[in-house]
Amino acid sequence: MATFLDGKYKLPEQFYYNQNHVFCDTSKKLIGLDQIGYALLKNPKKIEILVKNFVRAGQIFAKIYHDNGETALKSPCSGRIKTKNLHALEYMETDTYTKGFIIELEEIEELDYGLITGDNVSSWGYEEVQFLRGESYSFKVVELGDSAVGKTAIKVRLTDNFFKQDLQTTFGIDFGTKELKVDYNNGAALFSGSKTYNVKMLVWDVAGQEHYEKQRGMYYKGAKGALLCYDVTNPVSFENLDKWIEELQFNVGKNIPVLVVGNKIDLRRNVPKKKALKYAKDNGYLYAETSAKTGNGIIAAFQALAKKLIAQEKKMAIETYT
């Protein structure tokens, strides 16, 4: 058993965990949210189980609603469902791994790739606890833009350092997470140099097709920042950026940091960089160019957005306590 903060949080090392703190107990065939994952939620109020008879590894199977919006949970394994625990929230804090489970399976047919277990649980759990102690940040960001500009490819390159030429078009929503080391300097004269923060980016890839417009609205809730993506080979995708900003502002209801991303710079450009830079500057947005194929610019783009988000969080904290 891996324990943290003098035993306040416990992670059984024989379980399997994904990066979103969903555990799989292969012995009891249970799926649920671990103690650290529960602690990261702010006043959880309601759980909604989205699957019926079967759950697949990597599938969004449940949502938890809380004061900061909603958190989607991805399953770490596949299997036919035996029991759904609609009262899971009542027990997650006090009896997480027995009565606080979300789904009980008849059999576990497949585990997702990249799960954390055994000797890796302790080091991973330690890093995650830092988010609870204020030394780290966690931000939900949404990717916006026309279909086929490479939003999914950008997300997959960030989270898995992987590129596939024929990635399927996103249907509705997909998301992934990535922890980054971000050097931040607050610019205050009393604090020289910069501090390195752990930043978890929760990247929500929103389907770009027009017929998903009504469905997209629910996924903006709780977003702290946005990637406004276009394809440098496709001028139409650039001209449509204003439409995506209108949708973002309508659903978020306030101004949030925006990073304009020109993707596919490994191909022949049809949108002048000077024009794109002017658009970003005129609207007060950050700007970056990337190639999901080669990985060029991906990490730097997300680090730039993370710095902006850290600055925003620190400003809000100062305004709150002064």
pLDDT tens-digit profile of 250-300? 988 778 999 999 999 999 999 999 999 999 999 999 999 999 999 999 999
pLDDT reading at 221 higher than 70: yes
Q: Who's near 81: CB < 8 A, 6+ residues apart?
A: 51, 52, 53, 54, 55, 103, 104, 105, 106
The phi, psi pair for 15, rounded to 5°, reads -80, 165
* Residue 319: per-residue pLDDT: 46
Match 């919006």 to its residue by tokens: 69
Count of domains observed in the chain: 2
* Residue 171: per-residue pLDDT: 43
127, part of any domain = no
* Residue 320: per-residue pLDDT: 38
* Residue 108: per-residue pLDDT: 96
Do 295 and 215 fall into the same domain?
A: yes
Residue 90: which CATH number? 2.40.50.100
Span 170-180, average pLDDT: 71
Span 119-142, average pLDDT: 83
- Cα 261 to Cα 158, 209, 231, 309, distances in angstroms: 14, 19, 8, 16
% of the chain at pLDDT higher than 90: 62
pLDDT reading at 322 higher than 60: no
Do 115 and 143 fall into the same domain?
A: no
What range does the domain containing 276 cover? 135-321
* Residue 293: per-residue pLDDT: 94
More confident call, 131 vs 32 = 32
Q: Which amino acid is located at 309 in the chain?
A: L
Do 27 and 147 fall into the same domain?
A: no
Do 253 and 177 fall into the same domain?
A: yes
94, part of any domain = yes
Do 174 and 266 fall into the same domain?
A: yes
pLDDT reading at 209 higher than 80: no
The phi, psi pair for 41, rounded to 5°, reads -80, 145
Do 41 and 140 fall into the same domain?
A: no
252, part of any domain = yes
Question: Which among 85, 120, 155 is the end of a domain?
Answer: 120
CA dihedral (111, 1, 60, 256) in degrees, to 10, reads -130
126, part of any domain = no
More confident call, 307 vs 42 = 307
96, part of any domain = yes
Q: Grade residue 136 by pLDDT with cuts at 50, 70 and 90.
A: confident
Match 């995708």 to its residue by tokens: 237
* Residue 186: per-residue pLDDT: 57
* Residue 211: per-residue pLDDT: 44
Q: What is the CB neighbour count within 10 angstroms for residue 192?
A: 7
Task: Measure the CA angle with vertex 299, ends 213 and 231; round to 5°.
Answer: 45
125, part of any domain = no
153, part of any domain = yes
- Cα 57 to Cα 60, 73, 78, 239, distances in angstroms: 9, 11, 5, 38
Do 98 and 193 fall into the same domain?
A: no
* Residue 99: per-residue pLDDT: 96
